Structure 1
């Protein structure tokens, strides 16, 4: 059928439009190709020329700057310093032994480091850099850089490493960092790439470990051009990482350093807590160690010396160790008796020097006895028999309940390692853990802080702060994170009758200030800073023996807890001297000196001490000042 002229014209128009559309598309496509070719041949000519000459582009992670740690006054506790290191990448190095041999001609390499590096390179992905030498000098870095063409895959780098400018002062609190290990990586289900950066440091113990996520920050990245032998030609672009958050602690470096000097070579610990806020102003264990040695890789002899020291410098005694509290626990027994209504402030018990319980005789520390004593005198004289009788009336369940109300038997919530809960035993505990029934003798022993009862120095300080205020004081060690304040917790009413607390406090005031008080020689002479406290001596051996007649590790522990000022308490202090002997003669003087140092925020005037003690105190102050000055000078030389 022939088409009409009109149909033929319409068909021609359609063909023309299709031809125009097809031609336009072809021209546009050709134009895009032309522009792309121009971009690649002109704008990216240098980059492709490098690639054509066997260069390539690598991505490198940039380690973030770790957050710093400060004390309450802004003094640096943990910082970062620049260090130089030499790394190798297996996929760029070819013959590893040959490359390391040439490197060893330029830099002194530790055989152990070389062995470790070779093992890491053989077991790690080939693109990962492995540190061959750390903390090298600028001269060594320069020699490696100049000889880079002959050292394929070897890269000199500048990195950051942790440094603790106050050395051993905060070792047990802050802890230390170290290179990421396989054990560390195993803790993460999907480890971040930053953890695989060579010799990247993470927290191992203490606050460094507890706040690892906040302190670590986020890694950055850089794109670099490297040639065929692995030499970096230039940096193409860089994305900086995010620095870790800074932490400010509640502790005072000056006070902590003084405590360290005051404790001296003793195996001891001390805690100072603000009774209003719960802020820990000091939390010190002695002896200590230098965490910088762990950051750099502690030597076998150095680590062995720390492990073999019978004073246990690696132990954080303030939170990790638990001791029988001795007579400091009489505070708990007294409050339990008052709460149960089985005693009043004026009721007396007769102490002949011992108490017969069944077939066993329980002795008082004063063998001749104290005669008739009431509540205040029982605390003042630390009469054991009074508490033996009281405990049998009140029962272990009531004593344990009061102990828990005062903070015993539960691990304090502080970001330190291996925090102990101590032990506040009761009948269920013995049945569950020992498979035996609770005996009346167990109650008698517990009444004076012996037997199964165990407390840490930090728990002792919390107990004292709660007695001083009647409030549920909770310890705080971190003041702010990244500038944001960490809120206070606790502080509510303990639910203990205020009158009962006043009666017990009167006894604690007498302990220190009464002419017959067991800690009379350690009183504070300044009226506006008078102190209340309780001595304690906990037996290590279950027999009557003089401390000087047995080896050091079998001697009694000396304890003392106190708060001040008595009229408006601000601070509470606990001191434990391991195997020190009597709490009144050994621990109380230390606690008094620490309390005054904290109250005056520096060296106290001599008239704050009893006149009979001032000559000795002046000699002691001069010695401590001299030792601290020498220490500061030595640290300045090291820096």
Structure 2
């Protein structure tokens, strides 16, 4: 039955409209597609060509050689040595187990290392090399080279690693490098891409860490062609990196080596400083450690031995350690008294062996007292009561102000780790830090460098240098960077009356050269090299009234941890100051018996530029010194031990 003509015509009109709409849409879509293709192929052609090129060409960073470090005379302190490693590429090796077995017969590889290599090979693309052994000695590299035909896929590679040829002598100064860790990266706001290179070495402590940016250098780059899976096909070009900057320190390694040897067996620190320009000639902390252990990966047993040693070999005591300065602080109080007009050189205080303040008895080290003491006598014989009385008249504010002028209580800017600030207390400090008010007994304790007063050996050396010169001498550790001399800050005058400084220097001279002086037994005989110094003994325990009545126990009768710290500071020669020395021996006992002989020996070694002649020592000490020098020569066989003309 035929559809009616009217319905057929209407349907045809509907179909025509739909076809027209659909056709128009198709034409529009094709037009848009054509326009997009034209845009991509013509207008964006350069962009997509560049993207394709970047997919084909990769940039690989080339690590730069690290800057090297030398002492003031050009002796290498931190250098870059060739480091060999063995890699294995799975797709070239064939039977991996067979190749690893052959390798194990040639070089030292334990089963644990082999298992690590197998695991890494499984998760690494077959064309990428995997490190089998690192820090391989040259003798093992030659074995692999000789057997190369039987070791397909095995490749010896050479790179650079850090080495410290002077071993433990400068470990606390220079520090060491190690592989970059996640912790290192978290501390850096915008890490250099170099730090993501496997096995890249970064400064961890000391100068290596503080001057990392100078030492690291700038990366080079290789442009390499790779295929779609990342396999390197060929090298297109190469731009070598820029080596890090070389550093020359102010340290004299020969002197540093001697100081380390002289401190052997002690938990101690020593500083030698040129008072004329601030150059630090020696910065020693004992005992020390071998930084090479950390570069190569220190073992658990070695690290435990360092951390469990009660002498704390990892601590840079010369700059990190802070100690009550004891009687070495008396020069500060003396100068404060002279400058304030509270005392004159001949004014005296009477010392009966103690002073009672606010119902508390403060004792002098000499139980029977010193009698009437003037300035020179008080320093020469280290009378405590003299300084108790003087401090009570001065007040803590004037004492603290003088201490800061002499370099105490402020952090010294050196490129070493954890340089301590020390402490010169004030009433406000105690209120904020302790939540307590200052009491008069605090002032009395501060007068003899006890109580809250703390200083590092470095700060004590700076104090001594400023007393010797009257100038604000500032320590310098970096002598040159890439051969360019670094600024020397000889310091302007600290503004003290020269007559007052002269009085204190004269008293320090008496300490070492007057028969009543506390350091007379450690004097220097050579007339033109006489030193001026000051002993110090700082208590680390409280002496009870009961013990004092029964007789204070000697340090020799106490456990090591409860013995007093021994200190000594000096400058020499007295008539023409060249160096300042500070020595602290932890729990060493008395400053005159433990620290002064060490400081005297270091002072002579520095002045002579080598082993001093025996006639520089007191006659009664020469046989002992001869034996001591012999032992030190055996301890430091590479050191220069011949006497030289002094600097």
TM-score of the pair, normalised by structure 1: 0.84
SS of the counterpart of 1:106?
helix
CA contact under 8 A between 1:106 and 1:140: conserved in structure 2?
Answer: no
CA contact under 8 A between 1:561 and 1:574: conserved in structure 2?
Answer: yes
Superposed CA deviations along residues 295-324 of structure 1, whole A, max 9, x for unmatched, are 000000000001111011111000011000
SS of the counterpart of 2:637?
helix
Q: How do 1:146-545 and structure 2 match up within 5 A?
A: 146=149, 151=153, 156-223=156-223, 235-489=235-489, 491-543=491-543, 544-545=552-553
Q: Which residue matches 2:560?
A: 552
Q: Which residue matches 2:22?
A: none
1:617 alignment partner, one of 610, 613, 625: 625
Superposed CA deviations along residues 245-281 of structure 1, whole A, max 9, x for unmatched, are 1000000000000111111111111100000100000
Q: How do 1:57-96 and structure 2 match up within 5 A?
A: 59-87=59-87
Q: How do 1:86-125 and structure 2 match up within 5 A?
A: 86-87=86-87, 102-103=99-100, 105-107=102-104, 108-109=108-109
CA drift at 1:130: 6.4
CA contact under 8 A between 1:262 and 1:624: conserved in structure 2?
Answer: yes
2:581 alignment partner, one of 543, 556, 573: 573
Q: How do 1:133-152 and structure 2 match up within 5 A?
A: 133-136=133-136, 137-139=140-142, 141-142=144-145, 146=149, 151=153
Consecutive unaligned residues of structure 2, counting only runs of 5 or more, are 1-55, 544-551, 641-647
Tell me the distance in 2 between the aligned counterparts of 1:143 and 1:200.
29
Q: Which residue matches 1:49?
A: none
Tell me the distance in 2 between the aligned counterparts of 1:167 and 1:65.
21
CA drift at 1:221: 2.5
Tell me the distance in 1 between the aligned counterparts of 2:114 and 2:464.
54
Tell me the distance in 2 between the aligned counterparts of 1:124 and 1:273.
55
Going from structure 1 to structure 2, the CA distance change for 1:67 and 1:127 (only over 3 Å counts) comes to: farther
Q: Which residue matches 2:11?
A: none
1:586 alignment partner, one of 563, 579, 594: 594
Matched residue pairs, number? 573
Superposed CA deviations along residues 23-56 of structure 1, whole A, max 9, x for unmatched, are xxxxxxxxxxxxxxxxxxxxxxxxxxxxxxxxx8
Q: Which residue matches 2:637?
A: 629
Tell me the distance in 2 between the aligned counterparts of 1:590 and 1:294.
31
Q: Which residue matches 1:35?
A: none
Superposed CA deviations along residues 203-223 of structure 1, whole A, max 9, x for unmatched, are 100000011111111122234
Superposed CA deviations along residues 363-404 of structure 1, whole A, max 9, x for unmatched, are 100001000000000000000000001001000111011111
SS of the counterpart of 1:492?
coil
CA contact under 8 A between 2:93 and 2:151: conserved in structure 1?
Answer: no
CA drift at 1:489: 2.6
Going from structure 1 to structure 2, the CA distance change for 1:358 and 1:190 (only over 3 Å counts) comes to: closer
Tell me the distance in 1 between the aligned counterparts of 2:190 and 2:121.
21
Going from structure 1 to structure 2, the CA distance change for 1:70 and 1:327 (only over 3 Å counts) comes to: same
Tell me the distance in 2 between the aligned counterparts of 1:589 and 1:178.
38
Tell me the distance in 1 between the aligned counterparts of 2:289 and 2:164.
11
TM-score of the pair, normalised by structure 2: 0.83
CA contact under 8 A between 1:179 and 1:200: conserved in structure 2?
Answer: yes
Going from structure 1 to structure 2, the CA distance change for 1:110 and 1:226 (only over 3 Å counts) comes to: farther
Consecutive unaligned residues of structure 1, counting only runs of 5 or more, are 1-55, 633-639
Larger CA deviation: 440-449 vs 129-138: 129-138
Corresponding position: 1:596 with 2:593: no
SS of the counterpart of 1:372?
strand
Going from structure 1 to structure 2, the CA distance change for 1:217 and 1:430 (only over 3 Å counts) comes to: same
Going from structure 1 to structure 2, the CA distance change for 1:511 and 1:99 (only over 3 Å counts) comes to: same
Going from structure 1 to structure 2, the CA distance change for 1:626 and 1:118 (only over 3 Å counts) comes to: same
CA contact under 8 A between 1:129 and 1:197: conserved in structure 2?
Answer: no
SS of the counterpart of 2:397?
helix
CA contact under 8 A between 1:106 and 1:143: conserved in structure 2?
Answer: no
CA contact under 8 A between 2:322 and 2:456: conserved in structure 1?
Answer: yes
Larger CA deviation: 413-422 vs 121-130: 121-130
Q: Which residue matches 1:608?
A: 616
Larger CA deviation: 607-616 vs 527-536: 607-616
Going from structure 1 to structure 2, the CA distance change for 1:86 and 1:509 (only over 3 Å counts) comes to: same
Superposed CA deviations along residues 196-243 of structure 1, whole A, max 9, x for unmatched, are 221111110000001111111112223457899999776553221111
CA contact under 8 A between 2:277 and 2:490: conserved in structure 1?
Answer: no
CA contact under 8 A between 1:351 and 1:372: conserved in structure 2?
Answer: yes
Going from structure 1 to structure 2, the CA distance change for 1:120 and 1:252 (only over 3 Å counts) comes to: farther
CA contact under 8 A between 1:68 and 1:246: conserved in structure 2?
Answer: yes
Tell me the distance in 2 between the aligned counterparts of 1:447 and 1:133.
61
CA contact under 8 A between 2:90 and 2:129: conserved in structure 1?
Answer: no
SS of the counterpart of 2:298?
coil
SS of the counterpart of 2:191?
coil
CA drift at 1:628: 1.3
Going from structure 1 to structure 2, the CA distance change for 1:112 and 1:558 (only over 3 Å counts) comes to: farther
Superposed CA RMSD in Å reads: 3.0
CA contact under 8 A between 1:465 and 1:572: conserved in structure 2?
Answer: yes
CA contact under 8 A between 1:93 and 1:230: conserved in structure 2?
Answer: no
Tell me the distance in 2 between the aligned counterparts of 1:124 and 1:185.
24
Superposed CA deviations along residues 396-453 of structure 1, whole A, max 9, x for unmatched, are 1110111111111111111110111011111011000000000111110010000111
